[in-house]
């Protein structure tokens, strides 16, 4: 795909990764894009690069606008591999360019490359770069997504180049929100935003709120928000800011996710009875069998719902391996403001339900106890108990949700 003008000589020159489905272990069912931007001014400036195996596409796109030798500045907002590993190709073509990045970025970059021959200027929040008629303001955003991260604001054009923040893993011929919605839907775009936030930015909600407030305090009023992945927000940049603030506040649907796995279908039968109880109590639920669902999708569904029930058979006195993997992933993401219950089938001693509760308490989540475990295969009476457990959980979710 060739370069696309974002606004007044600011061009998207990135690459679409239509085929990627495993993004460092994170499932990307829509693919992704590596967005970077060329600002054509008296001193041409490239903001970010792309993943190494897409560098040829980036260079071709730059050549569609200008000779890459003309680049005078390279801004590196974030040094994760998907954004920085095209920089050696750029510095080969424009060896005299100055790289602008945070000090933590510089320290990281020298772990990837021999930077001794590159001219690097380290920048802090409030520093600027004048490149002709345009000037670029830097704002450090540590931990959004890595300690090195910052964003760049083209002041005259009100374009915020935001690296990972406000992005989505979407491969599309559409570059802008209005184009994407015209051929897909608002719901699909929102789902991709939630998926990205839940799997990547969930631990950093309070930092996100602080940074959005800082954007306001600095007097920035972005009319276009251009992330390094997915769709650029030009029709409604306020939408993504509102979504991020809502998610950072821990907003959730009054709904339930039931995430389970099963060995001989006993925990599955419990799941079905519990789901009926939840539904009959007036709450909708999504039922997710972990072995048949990518972990990242399960986490997204966990994040969307105010309440989650986790069903695990006991295997060798402990939690089932897929559930253990899910809990480990969840522990790292440090979710807040959710209520969790647990259930599962046991053969003899049990252990899985207890372990699920221990883990979610360690995370700091609200729990609905006691959970329910039952021996071998659910009888008719056991299924009634499961149904009642589902009803009780739904009531707990309603009560807990009312606090937000």
Size of site (CB under 6 A) for ligand FEO: 9
Does the active-site annotation cover 157? no
Per-residue interface string for the shown chain with ligand FEO, residues 220-259, x marking contact by CB under 6 A: --------xx------------------------------
Distance CA 86, CA 48 (A): 9
Q: Which is nearer to ligand FEO, 150 or 386 (CB)?
A: 150
> Would you call 80 a catalytic residue per the annotation?
yes
- Tokens of residue 123, six digits: 């920048």
Under rule CB under 6 A, residue 83 binds ligand FEO: yes
Residues 249-308, interacting with ligand FEO (CB under 6 A)? none
Cα–Cα distance, 275 to 364 (Å, whole number) = 25
Asked about 265 being catalytic, the answer comes back as no
- Residue from 17, 41, 48, 82 in contact with ligand FEO (CB under 6 A): 82
Helix, strand or coil for residue 283?
coil
**77-85, 97-105, 210-218, 248-256 -> range binding ligand FEO (CB under 6 A):** 77-85
Backbone angles phi, psi at 273, to 5 degrees: -70, -40
Q: Are 12 and 33 in contact (CB under 8 A)?
A: no
Cα gap 112→127, rounded to integer Å: 25
Is position 80 an interface residue for ligand FEO (rule: CB under 6 A)? yes
C-alpha closest to that of 102 among 65, 128, 77: 77
String of DSSP letters for 105-171: HHHHHHHHS--TTSEEEE--TT-EEE-SS-EEEEEE-TTSSSTT-EEEEETTTTEEE-TTTT-----
Instruction: State the minimum distance, in angstroms, from the CB of residue 19 to ligand FEO.
Output: 17
The answer to the question of residue 164 lying near ligand FEO (CB under 6 A) is: yes
Point out the catalytic residue in the list 83, 100, 169, 229. 229
Q: Return d(Cα 124, Cα 142) in angstroms, integer.
A: 11
Report which secondary-structure segment, H or E, holds 59: helix 55-63
229 has catalytic annotation: yes
Known catalytic residue: 368?
Answer: no
113 is catalytic: no
What are the C-alpha distances in Å from 72 to residues 77, 122, 156? 16, 16, 19
Q: Minimum distance between the CB of residue 80 and ligand FEO, rounded to whole angstroms?
A: 4
Instruction: Check 11, 41, 78, 382 and give the catalytic one.
Output: 78
The binder of ligand FEO chosen from 145, 211, 234, 306 (CB under 6 A): 145
Largest CA distance in the chain: 78
Q: Where are the beta strands (DSSP E) in 282-393?
A: 285-289, 305-311, 314-315, 318-319, 339-346, 366-367, 372-375
Where does this chain touch ligand FEO (CB under 6 A) — which range of 63-71, 76-84, 126-134, 152-160? Answer: 76-84
- Are 184 and 230 a contacting pair, CB within 8 Å? no
Which span sits near ligand FEO by CB under 6 A: 65-73, 78-86, 315-323, 387-395? Answer: 78-86
Q: Is 147 in the site for ligand FEO (CB under 6 A)?
A: no
Asked if 82 is an active-site residue, the reply is: yes
**Residue 166 vs 400, nearer CB to ligand FEO:** 166
Q: Does 30 interact with ligand FEO (rule: CB under 6 A)?
A: no
Quick check: bond before 302 cis, omega within 30?
no
Q: Is 52 a catalytic residue?
A: no
Of the residues 11, 26, 196, 197, only one is catalytic, namely 196
Nearer to ligand FEO, 199 or 267 (CB): 199
Which one of 43, 52, 80, 191 is the catalytic residue?
80
> Is 136:119 a contact under the CB 8 Å cutoff?
no
Rounded least distance, CB 145 to ligand FEO, Å:
4
Q: How far is the CB of 56 from ligand FEO (least distance, A)?
A: 19
Cβ 389 vs Cβ 360: under 8 Å:
no
Active site residues: 24, 78, 80, 82, 145, 164, 196, 229
Task: Summarize as ranges the residues that interact with ligand FEO (CB under 6 A).
Answer: 78, 80, 82-83, 145-146, 164, 228-229
């Amino acid at each position: 795909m060739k370069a696309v003008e974002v606004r007044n000589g600011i061009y998207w020159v990135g690459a679409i990764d239509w085929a990627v489905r495993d993004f460092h272990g994170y499932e990307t069912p829509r693919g992704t894009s590596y967005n970077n931007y060329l600002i054509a001014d008296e001193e041409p400036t490239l903001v970010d690069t792309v993943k190494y195996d897409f560098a040829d596409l980036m260079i071709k796109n730059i050549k569609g606008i200008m000779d890459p030798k003309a680049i005078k500045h390279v801004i590196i907002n974030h040094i994760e591999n998907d954004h920085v590993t095209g920089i050696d190709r750029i510095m080969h073509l424009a060896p005299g360019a100055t790289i602008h990045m945070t000090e933590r970025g510089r320290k990281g970059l020298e772990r990837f490359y021999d930077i001794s021959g590159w001219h690097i200027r380290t920048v802090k929040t409030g520093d600027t770069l004048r490149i002709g008629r345009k000037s670029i303001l830097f704002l450090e955003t540590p931990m959004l997504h890595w300690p090195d991260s910052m964003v760049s604001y083209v002041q005259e054009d009100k374009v915020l180049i935001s690296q990972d923040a406000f992005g989505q893993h979407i491969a599309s011929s559409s570059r802008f929100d209005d184009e994407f919605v015209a051929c897909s839907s608002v719901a699909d775009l929102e789902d991709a935003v939630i998926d990205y936030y839940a799997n990547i930015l969930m631990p950093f909600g309070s930092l996100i709120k602080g940074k959005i407030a800082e954007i306001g305090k600095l007097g920035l009023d972005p009319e276009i928000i251009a992330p390094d992945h997915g769709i650029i927000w030009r029709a409604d940049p306020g939408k993504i800011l509102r979504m991020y603030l809502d998610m950072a506040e821990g907003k959730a649907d009054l709904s339930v996710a039931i995430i389970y796995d099963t060995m001989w279908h006993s925990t599955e039968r419990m799941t079905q009875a519990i789901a009926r109880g939840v539904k009959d109590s007036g709450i909708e639920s999504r039922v997710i069998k972990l072995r048949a669902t990518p972990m990242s999708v399960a986490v997204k569904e966990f994040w969307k719902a105010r309440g989650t029930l986790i069903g695990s058979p006991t295997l060798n006195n402990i939690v089932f391996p897929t559930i253990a993997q899910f809990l480990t992933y969840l522990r790292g993401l440090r979710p807040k403001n959710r209520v969790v219950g647990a259930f599962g089938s046991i053969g003899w001693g049990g252990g899985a339900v207890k372990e699920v509760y221990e883990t979610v308490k360690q995370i700091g989540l609200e729990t609905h106890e006691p959970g329910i475990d039952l021996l071998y295969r659910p009888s008719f009476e056991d299924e009634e108990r499961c149904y009642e457990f589902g009803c009780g959980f739904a009531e707990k979710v309603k009560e807990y949700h009312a606090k937000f």
